[in-house]
A = this chain, B = another copy of it.
């Protein structure tokens, strides 16, 4: 079996050590506890226990749920590729972990840099987790076709552009995007898609088709883990055992917390949870309906259920803190589930044949299109904002409108502009990222070694010869 060439074996460990060394150095120079985490600063202020609790506990709660969702949902169980299981989960873990450190620094410089220091608290952790979420979405588009060193460089670049985009939208343009329809989903999806476009491998099909015969679907069927058969045309398509359904359920259950973590306290968070919850129920129902309708014979497709059902969480990312109304949440979720299911059925094949885009996990259907829909929904709901509907709550949701600095219409225009900024930065960044990870010393795996754990992991020696024996035996017997 192919090994990493001798002189390049050091690329991954050296990158890890270099990156860790650099972030550690920057931490030593710049990062300090903020006033809530520093013992002296906190006790110097005259805080009552109630204040203490107040400051402490909300982020704690939000943080833990977001953390579970990013690492268990976006990360682990992202996809089960047949011979790429170790790499899928472990590279996700590596990339997300590095991003947490790196994003702490980037977002710190942009948002909490005072007196020469970055002041970190639990909000830093939540924001870093969001950045890791966007990087993992991009990862989904190139899964199996990139090595760990390439992914680290992708994360290095993407976190920078993510932070810049987030800063432009939230701080410069005054755009509202609590749940990240734009900053997380749209940005992450299109960054990954543009990057995947640059890495297009025209011969991937043939090289994989040769190998896929090793996996006889009957074996899967026999062991009681129903799986989607590898299509001979798209062998990199994930197979879906029960395990990956757990990812769907975790994301579905924690999405209300994810969208509500960064919104204003009180009615804002409460409303976000209610809207996200109902939107997800509607996207699930529409996914089941559409999946059965488009299949031709009334049967369902597990790929749709496990992915499109979640589009309701993406689509209300921007608007769930607004007065979307419960009915609005249902309608938005229904639309998102429909669009996402149709995307898997009709658009994914076109993406590859027409646009030369190999989107391993279908991030365009789950994050790209629903993210754009969510941005547009945000435009519409912002345009409809009135003092009557929000009362004094306008100060929390649309502070610039409340202060009279903007009309609802101009807020809507800013929201729309934010969407285009996101798309532009994702396109430029993803393309640059593609060129970056093509650098020869990063050792892009050759086509024949895509979707192969053997390249990166100490796994049992390739048993190809043995596994084929029974088949040959049979043939012999039958001949």
Contact = CB atoms under 8 A, between A and B. Distances in A.
Contact of A97 (B16, B285, B325, B397): B285
Interface stretch (A159-167, A177-185, A221-229, A432-440): A221-229
B463 A60 contact: no
Contacts of A77: 246
Interface string A48-73: 01101111111011011101100110
A8 B77 CA distance: 35
B286 A16 contact: yes
Contact of A31 (B61, B216, B326, B469): B326
21 contacts: A3-B299, A13-B290, A23-B330, A27-B326, A32-B325, A40-B391, A42-B266, A44-B392, A53-B58, A57-B61, A64-B65, A72-B250, A83-B221, A90-B302, A100-B278, A121-B270, A215-B224, A217-B460, A295-B458, A300-B456, A470-B470
A390 to B, nearest CB: 4
Interface stretch (A351-359, A414-422, A471-479): A471-479
A227 B224 contact: yes
A281 interface: yes
B278 A101 contact: yes
Interface residues of A, number: 165
Contact of A267 (B38, B100, B459): B38
Interface in A327-360: 327, 330-331, 334
B82 A224 contact: yes
So how many copies of this chain end up in the complex?
3
Contacts of A200: none
Interface stretch (A168-176, A237-245, A371-379, A404-412): A237-245
A292 B12 contact: yes
A404 to B, nearest CB: 17
A76 B246 contact: yes
B20 A467 contact: no
Contacts of A83: 221, 224, 226
A170 to B, nearest CB: 20
A224 B85 contact: yes
Interface in A28-54: 28, 31-33, 36-44, 47, 49-50, 52-54
Nearest to A274: B37
Nearest to A23: B330
A219 B218 CA distance: 12
A389 B76 contact: no
A384 interface: no
Contacts of A229: 459-460
A28 B324 CA distance: 11
Interface in A444-473: 453, 455-460, 462-463, 466-467, 469-470, 473
